[in-house]
Chains A and B, each alone.
Chain A
């Protein structure tokens, strides 16, 4: 290896008087070129990292970091370029591997290439072949420190089997430092500009150190909870709280290594690697949200990561079937009093707010109701100012209705008001995908391809106020296959139920129909065929789940029994129900003359008001949701 000259870093020792060597020296010895590169480049990296960071810019920042590393090595001299080239080779070409066997097999050519380039560089920049070991080690340490801090591969170092643990505060602090720029200023020739910049940077560093934290990084991802001592916990915290931008940069470094991976069979493109890293970051972030206090390498956390990955694969596999992004967005109907404290005066009305979230934009006919009563007089005739019936077909609907007594006045006393929104004729749809194969003997042969086509075998219903769940199976809802009942003694079971998942009550169950659009199913035991549907269903209004008649299917249409060995019929079975739904709310109020006797009221979402405490003089109305 050819050494560098100490004269490179020491401008006073650039002793040549030969004017023809002047251009060479300008490139290295006095840092006149590398100083500004390091200064401005470092500043750019810092600004981008702190304020404008995006995943795309991460690649550019990483490349810039490598350029700065080389520039730093050339500016510091002492042969540090050899170490830098070896490092770059290890990180980029060998993917930063710690595998000793791999390194021994592949590192030798890397060193040869590094020496070759170093020789060329030294010949280009300097004629001095002496070797200053102390200077070299110092230069390498400085460069390594800056690069490790700036590129954000501290966490990679921590991952290395050397037991390194760095407290997170230090990471933030160092990452907020313009280290390349400081090095650039040191290597820059003296002058007014240099003095000004040193002053500005000193102020900046002073502020950062004083504040004890880095700037934008903390904003982006300040870790919650108490920061316990160093040790393993610090390592775990460090991993979990390293800002996402740092994770992106370190991911970029790793991916750039992958491009030059010599292991052709296992090598991946930058795009593949980048996508993989992005997914890994996403899984980590999702698991961190679920297990905020869990160590990054704990079993629970690792299991969570595996689960996230599995879920993601499941999603990509389940491209077959319907994709409805609104399916998990619930339909919501909210009814509320605009004011929680009603003081009724003559001629005034009670405003009621109706808000509907209708993500699937189904047609909903909402009819408002209002009932005012008191113990003495019973129900009092009420009416609405303006419309009280709405045909909602939009995604979000908000309105206010005004309820008022028909007589335009209320006698003095305590009153109860109950408001309601009745949604008429809600059509609840549900579907389930099945494969009808004909003879039972075909099952084993066709099972695999059916699974490739039908990913979700359960009945699917939108997240509305009411769910209709139906099932056609042999006891296992995960099996999509249905065979000719004649070919097997197994019972084909059809069952269905209506589930109230909204805040109100089903007030009228108009009808339901299961296996609609697929006539020809028969059940010997169900002579009235109630398991396939009926009208005006009787049910308990208090029940949140209404079980509908079930039956054993003993036959179905011939065209669902394919004879051909290769053929199976893919059916999307449908079911629907039509119900009326009602949401109620209530509260008590007093007329103006009896305000002193007002009571604390608890109003639940079912609209049933309970008097829970007598609180003289209080005007509060409490709500329990």
Chain B
């Protein structure tokens, strides 16, 4: 009896301990790194705005909710309504611009939300039509940043067996940096010799649901020293790359001479500006009357 009771107490304490460890739910404790994974701006619609069905010559609203879930701020956010024929819809406006949406951070863990409002009036159906359905798009375009950092091992004396320092990992892969545009892979290539140098190759990829416009390298530093970088297949502006259907990945090549002869670890950072656009499809049906 006593032993059984004791076992029960121990079990209860164990449960309390486990619960306490895994608890801390809610926004109170934030230890999340917002600059990881693939996050992007999301477009939702306010309930019943637009309504699924509208009658002829009736007023309604289209209310998109733009939610910045990225770990970065979004600048120059523009919301556009596209794909509603003016013969059937009279829109008070078709775009809203100059919106700023703060990204997720310790002080704003949810990220900013913007509620747009587009007033509209349905027109008259063609001839004897009973209804008309229209798929339209809410398109959001914005500018944002991407920061990347990692610790690299610089080992210029590859064949020196006496150097017991770090070892270069060659290729590294990453899941994302809290934005739709991600640094997917990093290649570290050391050129040993009398004047050793390091080449860092970054592969940037769009893992979001939208489209990347152009990417501009702001800076890239290895151990605080600016590297000389260029995008592969770039135009005249070597630090700029335009994504399109034929160019869905960007390769950034950065070079730097290595002064030390011994291996050491140091931090590589790179930051980018980019344009992005994303869209969400919605449907409205104009009806001539009740079914």
Point out residues on A near B: beta carbons under 8 Å.
Answer: 319-327, 359-362, 429, 431, 433, 444-445, 449-450, 452-453, 462, 517, 564, 566-572, 574
Chain B CB within 10 Å — which of A324, A326, A359 has the most?
A324
Taking the complex as formed, is B132 at the interface, i.e. its CB lies under 8 A from any CB of chain A? yes
A570 in contact with B277 given A319-B133, A324-B129 (CB within 8 Å): no
Taking the complex as formed, is B151 at the interface, i.e. its CB lies under 8 A from any CB of chain A? no
A143–chain B nearest beta-carbon distance, Å: 48
Which chain A residues lie closer than 8 Å to B127 at the CB level?
A: 324, 360, 429, 462
Q: State the CA gap A387–B83 with chains docked (Å).
A: 51
Q: State the CA gap A462–B127 with chains docked (Å).
A: 9
A181–chain B nearest beta-carbon distance, Å: 44
A320 in contact with B134 given A462-B127, A572-B126 (CB within 8 Å): yes
Chain A CB within 10 Å — which of B85, B137, B139 has the most?
B85
User: Are B85 and A570 neighbours in the complex by a CB distance under 8 Å?
Assistant: yes
Which chain B residues lie closer than 8 Å to A359 at the CB level?
A: 128
Q: State the CA gap A574–B281 with chains docked (Å).
A: 26
B87–chain A nearest beta-carbon distance, Å: 4
| Residues 137-186 (chain B) with a chain A CB within 8 angstroms | 137, 139, 141
User: Are A449 and B83 neighbours in the complex by a CB distance under 8 Å?
Assistant: yes
Taking the complex as formed, is B106 at the interface, i.e. its CB lies under 8 A from any CB of chain A? no
What are 25 A-B pairs at a CB distance below 8 A? A319-B133, A319-B283, A320-B134, A321-B133, A322-B125, A322-B132, A323-B131, A324-B126, A327-B128, A431-B126, A433-B85, A444-B245, A445-B244, A450-B83, A452-B281, A453-B137, A462-B128, A566-B139, A566-B279, A567-B94, A568-B82, A569-B86, A570-B84, A570-B86, A570-B134
Name the residue on B nearest A434 (C-beta): B85
User: Are A445 and B245 neighbours in the complex by a CB distance under 8 Å?
Assistant: yes
User: Are A360 and B82 neighbours in the complex by a CB distance under 8 Å?
Assistant: no
A426–chain B nearest beta-carbon distance, Å: 13
Which chain A residues lie closer than 8 Å to B82 at the CB level?
A: 449, 566-568, 570
| Residues 72-106 (chain B) with a chain A CB within 8 angstroms | 80, 82-88, 94
Which chain A residues lie closer than 8 Å to B86 at the CB level?
A: 569-571
Taking the complex as formed, is B136 at the interface, i.e. its CB lies under 8 A from any CB of chain A? yes
Taking the complex as formed, is B135 at the interface, i.e. its CB lies under 8 A from any CB of chain A? yes
Which chain B residues lie closer than 8 Å to A433 at the CB level?
A: 85
Which chain A residues lie closer than 8 Å to B244 at the CB level?
A: 445
User: Are A324 and B83 neighbours in the complex by a CB distance under 8 Å?
Assistant: no
A571 in contact with B85 given A453-B135, A566-B80 (CB within 8 Å): yes
User: Are B279 and A449 neighbours in the complex by a CB distance under 8 Å?
Assistant: yes
A455–chain B nearest beta-carbon distance, Å: 9
Q: State the CA gap A325–B82 with chains docked (Å).
A: 28
Q: State the CA gap A450–B134 with chains docked (Å).
A: 11
Taking the complex as formed, is B218 at the interface, i.e. its CB lies under 8 A from any CB of chain A? no
Which range contains the number of B residues in contact with the other chain? 20 to 34
Taking the complex as formed, is B7 at the interface, i.e. its CB lies under 8 A from any CB of chain A? no
Q: State the CA gap A444–B245 with chains docked (Å).
A: 9
Point out residues on B near A: beta carbons under 8 Å.
Answer: 80, 82-88, 94, 125-137, 139, 141, 244-245, 277, 279, 281, 283, 285
User: Are B134 and A453 neighbours in the complex by a CB distance under 8 Å?
Assistant: yes
Q: State the CA gap A429–B134 with chains docked (Å).
A: 21
User: Are B283 and A572 neighbours in the complex by a CB distance under 8 Å?
Assistant: no
Q: State the CA gap A165–B211 with chains docked (Å).
A: 58
Name the residue on A nearest B211 (C-beta): A445
Q: State the CA gap A452–B245 with chains docked (Å).
A: 19
Q: State the CA gap A571–B245 with chains docked (Å).
A: 27
User: Are B129 and A564 neighbours in the complex by a CB distance under 8 Å?
Assistant: no
Which chain B residues lie closer than 8 Å to A319 at the CB level?
A: 133, 283, 285
Q: State the CA gap A566–B283 with chains docked (Å).
A: 18
Q: State the CA gap A98–B226 with chains docked (Å).
A: 68
Q: State the CA gap A574–B131 with chains docked (Å).
A: 18
Given contacts A361-B128, A453-B135, A570-B82, 11 further A-B contacts (CB under 8 A): A319-B133, A322-B131, A323-B130, A360-B127, A433-B85, A449-B137, A452-B281, A453-B136, A569-B86, A570-B84, A570-B134
A528–chain B nearest beta-carbon distance, Å: 27
User: Are A453 and B83 neighbours in the complex by a CB distance under 8 Å?
Assistant: yes
Q: State the CA gap A433–B88 with chains docked (Å).
A: 12
A571 in contact with B87 given A321-B132, A452-B135 (CB within 8 Å): yes
Q: State the CA gap A572–B283 with chains docked (Å).
A: 17
Which chain A residues lie closer than 8 Å to B281 at the CB level?
A: 449, 452
Residue of A320, A322, A566, A568 touching B135 (CB-CB under 8 A): A320
Which chain A residues lie closer than 8 Å to B80 at the CB level?
A: 564, 566-567
Q: State the CA gap A321–B83 with chains docked (Å).
A: 12
Q: State the CA gap A323–B141 with chains docked (Å).
A: 33
Which chain B residues lie closer than 8 Å to A567 at the CB level?
A: 80, 82, 94, 139
Name the residue on B nearest A325 (C-beta): B130
A8–chain B nearest beta-carbon distance, Å: 50
Residue of A453, A517, A572 touching B88 (CB-CB under 8 A): A572
A449–chain B nearest beta-carbon distance, Å: 6
User: Are A324 and B133 neighbours in the complex by a CB distance under 8 Å?
Assistant: no
Name the residue on B nearest A564 (C-beta): B80
Q: State the CA gap A322–B131 with chains docked (Å).
A: 6
User: Are B87 and A572 neighbours in the complex by a CB distance under 8 Å?
Assistant: yes
User: Are B129 and A323 neighbours in the complex by a CB distance under 8 Å?
Assistant: yes
Name the residue on B nearest A461 (C-beta): B127
Which chain A residues lie closer than 8 Å to B131 at the CB level?
A: 322-323
